[in-house]
Amino acid sequence: VLYNASGEGFRAVIEERNAFPDGKGCADGGDNNTGACPLGQTVDERSPRDGAAPEAVVAGVACGRLLAVATTEKQSSAFIYDITVVSRPKLLFVRHLSPASKLKNPGVAYGGRELGEIDPESLVFLEAEFSPSGKAGVLFAGATSGTVSFWEFSC
């Protein structure tokens, strides 16, 4: 088992993510088999106390606007704001960084290469001239998922 080699802290996180609310797990972990519940059906112990827990904020130019991107640690969400007029920030949209986890447990989503970022700890805003695709976007790194992905802006 991988987590035994990674220390007790990591083991506790994995066990919390896979904890079965009734001690028996879910009838469908997202692959029509019993097992760990999809994250959309779980609540970790800290969220009710701590709330969304904003983790990181970056800013850069995309689509001719100055944008800020903020992530939440436990919700794995990204909030994108237009801050071109700093005194009047405007929330443009919110994206969940692991949409597959709503219906699939982390193991199933990871196996299907669609897990996304769980517990985003780090992000980098890449303006178009520095982007591998030529379009502005954000690199997100998930601490718990061990994943990195690039999300582009559509102008």
34 SS3 class: coil
Work out the pLDDT band at 60, boundaries 50, 70, 90: very high
pLDDT in tens, 103-145: 888 788 888 888 888 888 899 999 999 999 999 999 999 888 8
SS3 content of the chain, % helix, strand, coil (to 5): 20, 35, 45
pTM to 2 decimals? 0.71
Neighbours of 17 (CB within 10 A): 20
